[in-house]
Amino acid sequence: MCDQIAVNSSVTLAETTLGTVIKCRHHDIGEEINMAVQPDSGGYELILRRETGGTHQPRLVLSFAAIQGRAECVRVEIGAPFAPGEDPTKLGARFAPKRLAPLDASTLRRIRLHTEIKGARKAWLGDLEEFATGYFQGYKISRSIREEARTRIGIAKETAKYDRPGPSHLGKDHFEKVALVYRDAYARGESPTLAVAGHFHVARSTAGRWVSIARNEHRLLPKTHRGKAKVRSTRQR
């Protein structure tokens, strides 16, 4: 059911650096889950590659890497797949034998990328938890794949925390990191809130909410006037 395969020439350049890919495929549902083995050369590794899309949306292939302890989407492929064995980097490569639809502006606007990314990560966590039991959809899997899944569950669960709405799942240790990034940016004369957003790869509004929680709930930053950054209190003499 599950086997180890060598990466072939039709795989993208990002994947060819990974060495071996563990691929499991359930033929009844056509779902494909990939986990990558850590390459000897170091660098960011592919930890998840998942195909999504439906009747009214184009096919998407989302590739994820571990960034700041979370699974983040770093590559998106949109559109029709190539036929098996074809090299997508060469002119003349043939697409899969199915009806092709053009990627026009209207089609691209229908893509809910954020929702697709969250859905892929949620499904990944469910798959890893099932792999960790030694079975996948009723089929027994190898010990190596089971152990590999168990090493991934931590990052999958941490990522799932960020995909849930609201800040209640984030502990004080997270906001201590927020305060540290904030202070460092302030000392460099940069925008502290934008620095937090960039460091944690979140929207500026989310970073602003985290800064507010660090300041007002955990007392990790001093009070400040609205719209003005501040990292240390001033005392009247």
Amino acid at 25: R
Q: In the structure, what pLDDT confidence band is assigned to residue 228 with cuts at 50, 70 and 90?
A: low
- Position of tokens 């563990």? 22
Whether residues 158 and 50 fall in one domain? yes
Closest to 160 in 3D by CA, of 133, 127, 128, 125 = 125
Whether residues 116 and 18 fall in one domain? yes
Whether residues 182 and 127 fall in one domain? no
Whether residues 86 and 189 fall in one domain? no
Q: What is the pLDDT of residue 22?
A: 39
Whether residues 7 and 34 fall in one domain? yes
Q: pLDDT of 38-95, one tens digit each?
A: 444 557 889 999 998 766 778 899 999 988 778 999 999 998 889 999 998 999 999 9
Tally of domains within the chain: 2
Whether residues 144 and 63 fall in one domain? yes
Structural domain harbouring 15: 2-163
User: Which of the listed residues 163, 195, 214 is the one where a domain comes to its end?
Assistant: 163
Q: pLDDT of 113-128, one tens digit each?
A: 888 998 999 999 999 9
Whether residues 115 and 202 fall in one domain? no
Helix/strand/coil (H/E/C) assignment for every residue in the chain: CEEEEECCCCCCHHHHCCCEEEEEEECCCCEEEEEECCCCCCCCCEEEEEEEEECCEEEEEEEEEEECCEEEEEEEEECCCECCCCCCCCCCCCECCCCCCCCCHHHHHCCCHHHHHHHHHHHHHHHHHHHCCCEECCEECCHHHHHHHHHHHHHHHHHHHHHCCCCCCCCHHHHHHHHHHHHHHHHCCCCHHHHHHHHHCCCHHHHHHHHHHHHHCCCCCCCCCCCCCCCCCCCCC
Whether residues 104 and 13 fall in one domain? yes
In the sheet where 57-67 sits, what is the strand order? 46-54, 57-67, 70-78
User: Which of the listed residues 130, 148, 163 is the one where a domain comes to its end?
Assistant: 163
Whether residues 179 and 159 fall in one domain? no
Whether residues 96 and 175 fall in one domain? no
Q: What is the pLDDT of residue 26?
A: 37
Q: pLDDT of 3-25, one tens digit each?
A: 333 333 223 322 322 223 334 43
Whether residues 10 and 125 fall in one domain? yes
User: Which of the listed residues 140, 163, 186 is the one where a domain comes to its end?
Assistant: 163
Whether residues 154 and 177 fall in one domain? no
Amino acid at 18: L
